[in-house]
Amino acid sequence: MERPNAWKNYTAEDIEKLNDLSARYRAFLDGGKTERECVKETVALAEAKGYRDLAAVVKAGEALKPGDKVYSNCMGKAIMLFHIGKKPLEQGMNIIGAHIDSPRMDVKQNPLYEDTDIAYLDTHYYGGIKKYQWVTIPLALHGVVAKKDGTVIDVVIGEDENDPVVCVSDLLIHLSREQMTKPAATVIEGEMLNLIVGGRPIDEEEGEGEEGDEKKAAKDAVKANVLKILKDKYDFEEEDFLSAEIEVVPAGKARDLGLDRSMILGYGHDDRVCAFPSVDAILSLDETPDTTCCCILADKEEIGSVGATGMRAHYFENAVAELVAATGTYSDLTLRRALTASRMLSCDVSAGFDPNFAGAFEKKNVAYLGRGVCYNKFTGSGGKSGSNDANAEFIARLRGIMDDNNVAYQFAELGKVDQGGGGTIAYICALYGMEVIDSGVAVLSMHAPMEVINKADLYEAKKAYLAFMKNA
């Protein structure tokens, strides 16, 4: 049951649509390197299409009717879009859900220090990464600094061509005989992921003050200079790091990959290559759908979907409860029926087959780049541990929808059975009793600073998500 390469069947119109989608996706990647930035981008896109803030609707005591479009923003780090359909919510929703956090490094709460005339920021890596991949590459700082007076300062350093960048150093090859004998997992350890942020002492005049301050400035003059720059440019003090969320991500823009421009190399394909077509699909619903459609962009998937903005929290259920109340008479039973009767695509990336590492895959059951959107009946590891396992009847209906809408698709597993594994948000949503299956885009070099996807798979994902919302 080998699937053909999707490019072989494209018309000139398909290529035009594919290129347009890819260009808009690259812009989304460049503008949304953190979950906060992705939410801001999504709100802007949604409001341009007539979506309103659900919180404002509830506060005003307004009723919602078929055709209305609302979004629910969870702490600026997760978001849900709802397009109200003709059928009662009690009959369920068609849901597509992705996550917008990506592997990275986070600046610690007491991060800034100086060692032998070099200033550093201490970090804690986030999600599953190969730590050695994050050294000696240009890195940028993205995030917010929340001050005690309630102001929140947006921070982006390293993206403008005139900005400086930061980096983590590595040991020179000439002195690395011992280092090169270590396993890859420990050749760079977590406490070595320290960002170089400065190397110039503060001017003596600027470091002067009371006697104690003078001694401190003389001892940590490079650190003092960094603090002065942060104060002058962003108006925050060293103690403000305590209430900051600053993420360390690869600097620079996503790029077309390959001489034929068939692929995209960029940071954060996992999982923004599913998040963007999910948003684009629901915003493409110009007419009132029969069934209420929902797009979820969740946070914290890379660390187990924990915390107030992870999918394990109840913000999705709470938002649906508000919808039930705004579209009729609220009852707990109606809410439970709405959730249980829903159908969902858990949109997350899958491991693309890489001929360089063919031994990690089982070639009959793997996702191939360029062969369309990928469905994973189950994920997990070993004996399907920690996975959602979609039922056959739901998969059969999906096959019909995909075939009827000329969507190129394939089925896959995440590598060989005992090779490793991974998880998504699917099993969490399945707790409501709804039908769920994982659906996403094949990725090469997943969780690396720069990942690879094929534009055809992005295009087919958008087609699949739109067909699902209209027809599931």
Token readout for 56 is: 């404002």
Q: Please state, in angstroms and rounded to a whole number, the distance separating the CA atoms of residues 352 and 362.
A: 11
Query: Is omega for the bond preceding 271 within 30 degrees of 0, making it cis?
Result: yes
Residue indicated by tokens 């005339």: 117
CATH 2.30.250.10 domain extents, the chain: 104-250
Residue indicated by tokens 């063919």: 358
- pTM for this predicted structure: 0.94
pLDDT for residue 414: 83
pLDDT for residue 417: 81
Half-sphere exposure of 71 (CA within 13 A, CB side): 28
Q: Please say whether the beta carbons of 274 and 349 come within 8 A.
A: yes
Residue indicated by tokens 């978001």: 79
> At the fourth CATH level, which superfamily is domain 104-250?
Aminopeptidase i, Domain 2 (2.30.250.10)
Q: Please state, in angstroms and rounded to a whole number, the distance separating the CA atoms of residues 244 and 200.
A: 24
Q: Please say whether the beta carbons of 287 and 75 come within 8 A.
A: no
Task: Provide the CATH number for the domain formed by 6-102+267-471 in this structure.
Answer: 3.40.630.10
pLDDT for residue 2: 83
| β-bridge mates for residue 36, sequence order | none
Token readout for 301 is: 């998937």
Q: Residue 8 CB: number of other CB atoms within 10 A?
A: 9
Q: Please state, in angstroms and rounded to a whole number, the distance separating the CA atoms of residues 156 and 233.
A: 11
Listed residue (132, 138, 110, 108) closest to 252, CA to CA: 138
CATH 3.40.630.10 domain extents, the chain: 6-102+267-471
Per-residue pLDDT of the chain (472 residues; tens, 9 = 90+): 789 999 999 999 999 999 999 999 999 999 999 999 999 999 999 999 999 999 999 999 999 999 999 999 999 999 999 999 999 999 999 999 999 999 999 999 999 999 999 999 999 999 999 999 999 999 999 999 999 999 999 999 999 999 999 999 999 999 999 999 999 999 999 999 999 999 999 987 665 555 555 555 568 999 999 999 999 998 999 999 999 999 999 999 999 999 999 999 999 999 999 999 999 999 999 999 999 999 999 999 999 999 999 999 999 999 999 999 999 889 999 999 999 999 999 999 999 999 999 999 999 999 999 999 999 998 877 788 888 889 999 999 999 999 999 999 999 988 888 777 778 889 999 999 999 999 999 999 999 999 999 999 999 999 999 999 999 8
Q: Please say whether the beta carbons of 443 and 367 come within 8 A.
A: no
pLDDT for residue 384: 83
Sign of the alpha-carbon dihedral angle for 115, 119, 124, 127: negative
Q: How far is CA 185 from CA 134, 189, 341, in A?
A: 13, 8, 44
pLDDT for residue 246: 98
Amino acid identity at 293:
C
pLDDT for residue 13: 97
Token readout for 134 is: 């994050």
pLDDT for residue 102: 97
pLDDT for residue 387: 83
